[in-house]
Structure 1
């Protein structure tokens, strides 16, 4: 097993290094074609190396946030370089074959790639830092005490830390409170791994401004596990008035049950039927589960509304084609039997602050409760308003 892990890492390192070499080589020949003063090859190589491995350097023992930030942007550069450079190389080759001098062919195709990168980063940054509110309206055919309706504000995958910072957090507070929700729900990945940047920037003082009569609740996402500081994170959330549910079910206002699962990353999380054993199935059951990996299981166990995140809807196109294959629902609304499922593309981002084919969002859900069971209610409800 250990040998396989080492071999797998070695193969990955070799392939990754070859891809980095390919990108670096393209940059080198374009600079030459542009007539720019050439850096010494060792210095140019060192710059490319730092770019390519800065994310790992930022997570080393002596952490420096600047490397994490550079590395995050590098992921965006890497993805779109691998999408743009092969057709650019082909176009350059065709132009040279038609008689255009090689220096001009390389310069103009390279300039086109730079223009494409500029457009991607400007548009992607706007989508990442300009969240929208998406509205859903559903009906749960169960009595909820004396409550006839419930307004939920939901935001997932904030990834608060170095790049999803205090300004983006203030956007969350403003938009979530502006919905005037009865309850605010945060289905995981509230922070980006390590809670240290969140604490250092005193973001807890801002997030505590989230306000709803029935409270603010959250669950753990995979990134809270990656940070290996869950107790510290939970304490920080407690100080901010946010209750993190870890395989827990609470009754809210004698009207409905709210369940919060540990993330699927936790191999020891409770089975869903055991978790919901204390919930009265005659009352509405709303559940947060960070990853939409067990939608069918939730439907079979009497959950009425399942709220998830995690997928980011791929975050950067065309990654949404991958998430669409990985999950039964990777974004939006799905009716599964009598259960409503809503998966958010997330409020923040992982890696680069870029979104293409997705948008940072907050979810507003208007829930209507029926006085009596209505088994034949509209199967098409739940569409975005």
Structure 2
């Protein structure tokens, strides 16, 4: 890889900001300890706190086989701290702003530190509990749309189960995956579509825990199709992942289209990550579906929700995306809402129906605040 000084400087800057914020959080924690009279060894506290803070980064180091469980533990521990870091920073900022007012009116600062610090810790604990419940208790979202096209000799109404962003790995595993299988199979879907990020970077836990076996229990009348997300690319195991999916009857579409049931097209784009200089590129959506029979329904999967106008112009009837997680936890949804034309839910783009899922799994911690893990039940009514 070519040395890029700008990227190095950016990484140094981000690490400096991250470390500074964590020093701020750690200082608040020790101040609360002192205020309530909790005894601790400062050096030991900062060592343990540092391990937690950098656990997600450290857990990604390629440990020798005998130490891999330690690496997995650090990664999981560090992922949950990502949530504590973000929420804690905002809460402690509010505490300090309010503290200026207490100081200005000459209030009891020591008492304020005790109550304010306790309140912050209680709020974080409550949000961890609520966020965990939201993450592990998926809901089924129903969308019903009309497509003014017909499929000869096939039912006018199709039920399609859609689930994206599983992020199967060390945090999201077989237990959560079985929730998906149970709920999806109960729908008795005509078709199952998976718009990307089924695995979370590394394929190792996917293989170690034989997660493909659970995926292979999914059942639908007309098959199961998936596309790659950015995380399948990040892990560098896309080809091996595709092989594993093929073994259990799930076809991963790489800028490909398939015709099923004698007249319905399912098209799958490579992820936007494939446009990077180090990748193989991907077809423009018009190249992918522009030559298909436009009198037949076309369902397009594209992991990242971008360029809806191009998909509509090319003739897609339904576009299915994921990627955003709807920010996963507040206030991140404020950023995803600005970054994407649609970061979650439903949008009509000309004649095309767009649905963006908040995802079935989670990235980083299994925490959702302001979003839910979801499975989509898409009911399409075709004209007779």
TM-score (norm 1): 0.93
Q: Is 1:290–2:303 an aligned residue pair? A: yes
2: distance between equivalents of 1:196 and 1:38? 38
1:91 to partner: Cα distance: 2.7
1:144-293 paired onto structure 2 within 5 Å: 144-147=151-154, 148-267=156-275, 268-293=281-306
Judge conservation of contact 1:296–1:336 (CA < 8 Å) in 2.
yes
The one of 323, 326, 330 equivalent to 2:343 is: 330
Corresponding residue for 1:58? 59
Judge conservation of contact 1:292–1:308 (CA < 8 Å) in 2.
yes
Corresponding residue for 2:278? none
2: distance between equivalents of 1:160 and 1:231? 17
Segments of 5+ residues of structure 2 without an aligned counterpart are: 276-280
Segments of 5+ residues of structure 1 without an aligned counterpart are: 372-385
Judge conservation of contact 1:185–1:218 (CA < 8 Å) in 2.
yes
Deviations 1:86-114 (A, max 9, x none): 11123334334545443322111000001
Moved over 6 A (4+): none
Corresponding residue for 1:379? none
Judge conservation of contact 1:91–1:109 (CA < 8 Å) in 2.
no
Query: How many positions carry a matched residue from both structures?
Result: 370
Q: Is 1:21–2:29 an aligned residue pair? A: no
Q: Is 1:140–2:147 an aligned residue pair? A: yes
The one of 307, 319, 324 equivalent to 2:320 is: 307
Q: Is 1:30–2:32 an aligned residue pair? A: yes
Corresponding residue for 1:378? none
Corresponding residue for 1:102? 109
SS at the partner of 2:143? Answer: strand
1:198 to partner: Cα distance: 1.1
Corresponding residue for 1:368? 381
Corresponding residue for 2:330? 317
SS at the partner of 1:135? Answer: strand
1: distance between equivalents of 2:33 and 2:350? 59
SS at the partner of 1:159? Answer: coil
Corresponding residue for 1:72? 79
Q: Is 1:6–2:26 an aligned residue pair? A: no
2: distance between equivalents of 1:90 and 1:287? 49
Give the aligned CA root-mean-square deviation in angstroms.
1.3
Deviations 1:254-305 (A, max 9, x none): 1200000100010101111111144211110001100111211100100000
1: distance between equivalents of 2:334 and 2:56? 25
Judge conservation of contact 2:290–2:315 (CA < 8 Å) in 1.
no
Corresponding residue for 2:360? 347
TM-score (norm 2): 0.94
